[in-house]
Structure 1
Amino acid sequence: MALLAACVAMQARAQTDEIQVYDAQIAAPGVFNLTWHDNFTPSGQQTAATPGLLMPHHTLNGVPEWGYGVTRWFEAGLYLPLYSVTADGRVLLDGFKLRALF
């Protein structure tokens, strides 16, 4: 069955954003936490779908995720800075995001 699935598998498409999976653990109250997320697209779209958009081909995207344990059941977080390093070496800062884990 696995061989059949491998033979008929569709072409995978590169995506520029990382899918983040959490294991339900949060930082203890008063504890800072840092997790680094990076995603490199070795082969992706080489032209922008809309002028000004990022082309994923040979692009590294990442963000440090800063967390702080507020209570034993709540962790506040900040993704800062969101960044991309393009195939031609440009470093782009893409802002920040707030997040909460319960």
Structure 2
Amino acid sequence: MFCAQINELKSAIRPLSGSSLQYCTDTCLRRYLEARNWNVDKSKKMLEESLNWRSTFKPEEIRWHEVANEGETGKVYRASFHDRDGRTVLILRPGKQNTTAADNLS
């Protein structure tokens, strides 16, 4: 039903490569379109911001041992399930922020 908008968004964000290509599945594009009431321009802007964030922070490369100290405070924890690809899912609760970047330098 909404294939036209998905294809339009897909064309608007090309060319993609690497992890961006893996991230931008049809299901993912549909979520962005739904979030912006099927407005392709607004969805494209939102998606581009997400892709920029993902390229900077590389969330797919986060490993538990790197953030385990945050788990001690309840800010992040491992879910009791895995994603479709068998990866561990981390649940982040930024409202429980209680450390600073300087705390993690030791």
Larger relative helix fraction: 2
On whether the aligned pair clears a TM of 0.5, the verdict is: no
- TM-score where L is the length of structure 2: 0.18
- TM-score where L is the length of structure 1: 0.19
Kindly name which structure, 1 or 2, has the bigger radius of gyration based on alpha carbons: 1
Higher RCO, Cα 8 Å, sep 6+: 1
